[in-house]
């Protein structure tokens, strides 16, 4: 009988399921949005990025519209004191799309047009550069199993989890690195989060396209040797996974992160087989059962 393990984690984790860091930074002496604005705009979601650009564009045109109104009747064929005419005149100026019936007719208005045209060119260049950077930023489309397993394999207890490439291409020179993070008390009574490297049966794959069952044998040299589920929970243990490689399509490095906390590690289970052959002999991977596990005695 197939079992789909969907366990929620009540405890905080260092790395979220989507690979983002679950860390709150306090006490910094600078405002990140001011000094790392480019980095912030790159990392924002597309919805927030488009919203910020649109809001900035709207605010800039509103400010210039008020500036034109302060200069009196400086726009030809515009209704005197009409905010909408001044606003749409500002839009035409900032976008450099050319004037129709309205055009500047005073020195004050021409000076404002010069300033706005320059700022519009700079804003367009910066926005275009950030848009290109966001589109060209390589991102991995890697899926990790929702849970990891500890079960016998070739006579030894083994930590196992699945990784798969969701794209229809290769990840060249793929490498997986796994670390154990847990809380420990020093002899002085200080609580620390300690990192331990976890050696893998196979940590590299020259051509990663299908599924990869990552395994670590728990022997006497393993940091997991002799550990129990209760000790995992008590020490707030977390298995941190990092995958790096080169995207074959764009020939650029990519990376992905994931973690498993103690509540997401199942014992004495095995993953359902998802690899098969089609009628034409091609390899087939069933992602719908990627996270499914069954007891060892099945």
What class, spelled out in words, does domain 32-136 have in CATH? mainly alpha
- Confidence at residue 1, expressed as pLDDT on a 0 to 100 scale: 40
Residues 6+ apart with CB under 8 A from 233: 262, 263
Token output for 136? 């060209």
What does the domain layout of the chain look like in residue ranges?
32-136, 140-295
Residue 110's φ and ψ, nearest 5 degrees, are -65, -35
For residues 104 and 75, the answer to whether their CB atoms sit within 8 Å is: yes
162: left (phi over 0), alpha (psi -120 to 50) or beta: beta
Q: Tell me the HSE value of 64 on the side-chain side, using a 13 A CA sphere.
A: 30
Task: Read off the pTM.
Answer: 0.70
Q: Tell me the HSE value of 210 on the side-chain side, using a 13 A CA sphere.
A: 11
Angle between helices 107-136 and 83-95 (to 10 degrees): 60
CA distance 93 to 98: 7
- Confidence at residue 9, expressed as pLDDT on a 0 to 100 scale: 43
CA distance 227 to 159: 12
Domains 32-136 and 140-295 share a fold: no
- Confidence at residue 201, expressed as pLDDT on a 0 to 100 scale: 92
CA distance 117 to 92: 10
- Give me the CATH code for the 140-295 domain, please: 2.60.40.1400
- Confidence at residue 24, expressed as pLDDT on a 0 to 100 scale: 65
pLDDT in tens, the chain (298 residues): 444 444 444 456 777 666 666 666 666 655 555 567 888 888 888 899 999 999 999 999 999 999 999 988 888 888 888 999 899 999 988 887 766 688 888 999 999 999 999 999 998 899 889 988 888 877 778 889 999 999 998 888 999 999 988 887 888 989 999 999 888 777 777 777 888 899 999 989 888 877 889 999 999 889 988 888 888 888 888 899 999 999 888 888 888 989 898 888 999 889 988 888 777 877 788 888 889 888 887 6
């Amino acid at each position: 009988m197939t079992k789909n393990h969907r366990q929620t984690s009540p405890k905080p984790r260092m790395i979220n399921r989507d690979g983002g860091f679950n860390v709150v930074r306090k006490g910094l002496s600078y405002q990140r949005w001011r000094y790392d604005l480019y980095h912030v705009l790159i990392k924002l979601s597309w919805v927030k990025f488009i919203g910020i650009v649109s809001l900035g564009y709207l605010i800039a045109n509103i400010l210039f519209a008020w500036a034109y109104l302060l200069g009196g009747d400086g726009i030809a064929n515009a209704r005197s004191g009409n905010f909408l005419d001044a606003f749409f005149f500002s839009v035409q100026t900032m976008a450099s799309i050319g004037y129709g019936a309205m055009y500047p007719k005073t020195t004050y208005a021409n000076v404002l047009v010069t300033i706005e045209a320059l700022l519009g060119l700079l804003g367009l260049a910066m926005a275009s550069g950030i848009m290109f950077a966001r589109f060209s930023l390589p991102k991995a489309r890697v899926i990790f199993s929702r849970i990891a397993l500890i079960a016998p394999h070739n006579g030894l207890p083994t930590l196992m989890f699945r990784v798969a490439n969701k794209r229809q291409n290769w990840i060249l020179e793929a490498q997986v690195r796994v670390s154990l993070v847990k809380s420990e008390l020093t002899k002085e009574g200080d609580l620390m989060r300690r990192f331990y490297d976890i050696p893998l049966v196979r940590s590299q794959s020259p051509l990663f396209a299908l599924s990869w069952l990552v395994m670590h044998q728990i022997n006497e040299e393993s940091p997991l040797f002799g550990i129990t589920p209760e000790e995992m929970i008590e020490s707030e243990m977390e298995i941190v996974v990092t995958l790096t490689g080169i995207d074959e399509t764009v020939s650029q490095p990519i990376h992905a992160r994931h973690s498993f906390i103690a509540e997401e590690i199942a014992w004495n289970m095995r993953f359902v087989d998802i690899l098969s052959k089609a009628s034409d002999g091609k390899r087939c991977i069933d992602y719908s059962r990627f996270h499914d596990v069954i007891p060892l005695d099945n």
